[in-house]
């Protein structure tokens, strides 16, 4: 039970980070999990844990969730997960993280890019890419956060709505793994501790977020998104 307890504690801290800033916790967790889990269990366990973390964060901030963006995102997600799961073994997705990273950086720092891309940006398209590509690429979460960052000034709206969108992504991902026969029940005790840690971390992060000034929060989120984008780009070549 030592591993289960340790991963439960780690999940608590990563979920707290995500609860404060809106993202980052999942990427830290997936960097740690290979030391504890076999490769075939890595993405499914991470997906279920992140589904819980994001869903609980959205529940704790339900008053701030911008529900009007959810239908388009869900529709895009359904289409994305359906198409990508069908063609996943027939196309190379090697350079998709590169384009995601470049999009995030340009979207955050280039006003000219934003003027040109604005008519193409939508929660339907973001849902399609984020959920579909998440089946094989672990760096899609910042996509929706980047769009929310531009659409909303309020930090709680950004984090709570981002959590709802990422929860949808992970829900679809978990259903795909169940369809392909991954035995989640074999890891029931590990999942129990990690789920408890995820929910507790979401609660702690939500409370800590209230102590951060809105302007400082947006600066922190912009820097963190940029660093994650750079990491994604570099990982393509290294």
**Taking the C-alpha atoms of 19, 102, 108 and 16 in order, what is their torsion angle to the nearest 10 degrees?**
10
The per-residue pLDDT for range 197-221, each reduced to its tens digit, is 999 999 999 998 888 887 788 888 8
Q: What are the DSSP calls for 45-113, one per residue?
A: HHHHHHHHHHHHHHHHTGGG--GGGHHHHHHHHHHHHHHHHHHTTTS--TTHHHHHHHHHHHHHH-HHH
Query: Regarding predicted confidence, which is higher, 25 or 75?
Result: 75
Nearest to 132 by CA among 180, 78, 181: 78
Question: Taking the model in full, what pTM does it have?
Answer: 0.85
The per-residue pLDDT for range 97-147, each reduced to its tens digit, is 777 788 888 888 888 877 777 777 889 999 998 888 887 766 677 888 888
Rounded CA separation 188/193 (Å)? 9
Domain count within the chain: 1
Nearest to 228 by CA among 108, 88, 126: 108
The domain containing residue 148 runs over which residues? Answer: 2-237
């Amino acid at each position: 039970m030592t591993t289960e307890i340790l991963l439960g504690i780690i999940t608590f801290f990563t979920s707290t980070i995500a609860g404060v800033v809106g993202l980052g916790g999942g990427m830290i967790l997936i960097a740690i999990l290979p030391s504890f889990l076999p490769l075939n269990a890595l993405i499914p366990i991470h997906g279920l844990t992140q589904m819980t973390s994001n869903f609980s964060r959205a529940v704790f901030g339900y008053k701030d969730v911008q529900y009007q963006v959810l239908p388009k995102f869900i529709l895009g997600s359904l289409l994305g997960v359906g198409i990508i799961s069908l063609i996943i073994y027939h196309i190379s997705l090697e350079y998709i993280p590169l384009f995601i990273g470049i999009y995030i950086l340009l979207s955050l720092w280039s006003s000219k890019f934003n003027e040109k891309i604005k008519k193409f940006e939508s929660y339907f398209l973001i849902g399609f890419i984020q959920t579909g590509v998440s089946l094989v690429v672990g760096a899609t979460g910042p996509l929706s956060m980047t769009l929310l960052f531009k659409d909303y000034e309020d930090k709680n709206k950004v984090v709570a709505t981002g959590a709802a969108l990422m929860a949808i992504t992970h829900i679809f991902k978990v259903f795909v793994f169940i369809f392909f026969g991954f035995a989640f029940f074999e890891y029931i005790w590990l999942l129990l501790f990690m789920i408890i840690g995820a929910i507790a971390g979401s609660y702690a992060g939500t409370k800590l977020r209230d102590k951060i000034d809105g302007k400082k929060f947006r600066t922190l989120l912009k820097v963190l998104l940029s660093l994650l984008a750079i990491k994604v780009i570099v990982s393509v070549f290294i």
